[in-house]
Amino acid sequence: MAWLVLKDGKAFAGEEFGFWPETDGPVSGEVVFNTAMSGVQEMITDLSYAGQILTFTQPQIGNSGWRRGAGEAGKVLLKGIILREPAAGAGAPGADGSLEEFCVKQKIPGLKGVDTRALARYLRQKGTQPGVLVRDLEAGQRFWAAPAPEENGPAPHWVYQATTAEGYVIPGAGPVVAVLDLGVKRSLLRCLQQKGFCLHVFPAGTPAAAILEVKPKGLVVSSGPGDPAALPAIQAELRKLSGRLPILGIGLGHQLLALAAGAETYKLPFGHRGGNYPVQNLVSGKVLITAQNHAYAVRAESLTGTGFIVWAINMNDGTVEGLRHTEQPILTVQYQPEAAPGPAVHDGVFAWFAAVVEGRMDHAERELA
């Protein structure tokens, strides 16, 4: 038997799954849950989960196995996974192995046999919080009872681990577009490639001047992990870029562009993570079903004087899902328009960006209407 012990003392029993080291200390991280019914591989390799222990609420996980090269990134930064029942999955069409084989190879610890429905309900009631994976219940309780170790300054933001170490180019016959990689997903890059762009991908800490040197016709600020308010240096560089070229912000990029303009963000009680969140376009009145994975949101009442207006909202709780600048060609979305995993019905966002990059402003307006 093994355990997940939350910081408030609540414990959930299960069995070891994946990689459990014999000598290393307990594995800890913020415990979150995702309600999507598929897309396990995309979720595990989504760098927005950096530092978190991911709970799958779908009862059986891993039916489709694991396919090499089909993930959203070449590295995994989540701390662990929790599930009800693992499926072998290795014999599924196109599979190169099972989910557990991948977890062992990538040294990802997991807990199976957990009542994930009860865990998700508890987190919805109490809010997300840190947890620790342990073999011994008392060890987990001692972990949270012990005083926190002293740290020499704040820990590095997860974005700087999620981002690319060096910039790179993805060739294309169309206009040059810069991508600020805060933990970018491969599916987002594919969506941009499909528009024909030549992509220059930059690490998160790149100065605005270095981005402008390649003479991009537009900029995409990607999704990524962690608290956007803890990234003041990136906000400062985005302020230098605003008004210089068209910008599309996604996820964390959406939040950072709002902060750079003077707005505020706040943490949601248990986040939005799943594949069926309804979002209403306030321009057209249409409602889209979206994929989401985020813990923070932009405070709508803080937008006064920023130049941004809300163009999309979450139908469940009214949170901000999209912003438009009234004077500059800047559009942001909180949800995942690349839809991995999730419903692929959001090409309008990328079509808007392609139109403004190419100077077809009248066409761009129609894409959001």
Position 68 scores a pLDDT of 82
The mean of the pLDDT values for the chain is 93
> Which residue of the set 338, 358, 365, 367 is catalytic?
338
pLDDT at 186: 95
Residue 137, annotated as binding a ligand? no
Share of the chain above pLDDT 70, in %: 96
The answer to whether the annotation marks 122 as part of a ligand binding site is no
Chain segment 297-333, per-residue pLDDT in tens = 999 999 999 999 999 999 999 999 999 999 999 999 9
Residue 90: which residues within 8 A CB-CB, separation 6 or more?
65, 97, 98, 101
Whose tokens are 């949601």? That residue is 268
Each as own residue / partner, the long-range contacts of residues 206-213 (CB below 8 Å, 24 or more positions apart, any chain) are 206/167, 206/180, 206/237, 207/237, 208/237, 208/238, 208/240, 208/241, 208/244, 209/240, 211/178, 211/180, 211/237, 211/241, 212/241, 212/244, 212/245
pLDDT digits over 219-242, tens only? 999 999 999 999 999 999 999 999
Least confident of 51-55, 149-153, 246-250: 149-153
Which pLDDT value is given to residue 65? 84
Closest listed residue to residue 131, CA positions, set 176, 81, 180: 81
**pTM tops 0.85, yes or no:** yes
Range scoring the smallest mean pLDDT among 8-12, 27-31, 61-65, 207-211: 61-65
SS3 134: strand
Annotated binding residue 293 = yes
Average pLDDT (40-63) is 94
Q: Is pLDDT of 151 > 90?
A: no
Report whether 296 belongs to an annotated binding site: yes
Q: Examine the residue annotation and report whether 30 is marked as an active-site residue of this protein.
A: no
Q: Establish whether 255 is an annotated binding residue.
A: yes
| pLDDT tens profile 86-132 | 988 777 788 888 999 999 999 999 999 999 999 999 999 999 999 99
The string of pLDDT tens digits covering residues 159-179 is 999 999 999 999 999 999 999
Sequence-ordered strand ranges (E) for the chain = 2-6, 11-18, 27-34, 52-56, 60-61, 80-82, 85-86, 109-112, 129-134, 168-170, 176-180, 198-202, 218-221, 247-250, 265-281, 287-298, 308-314, 320-325, 330-333
Q: Report whether pLDDT(60) > 70.
A: yes
Residue 153 assigned as binding residue: no
pLDDT computed for residue 341 by the predictor: 67
Instruction: Quote the radius of gyration of the chain (alpha carbons, Å).
Output: 21
Q: What domains can be seen in the chain, in order of their start residue?
A: 2-145 (3.50.30.20), 159-368 (3.40.50.880)
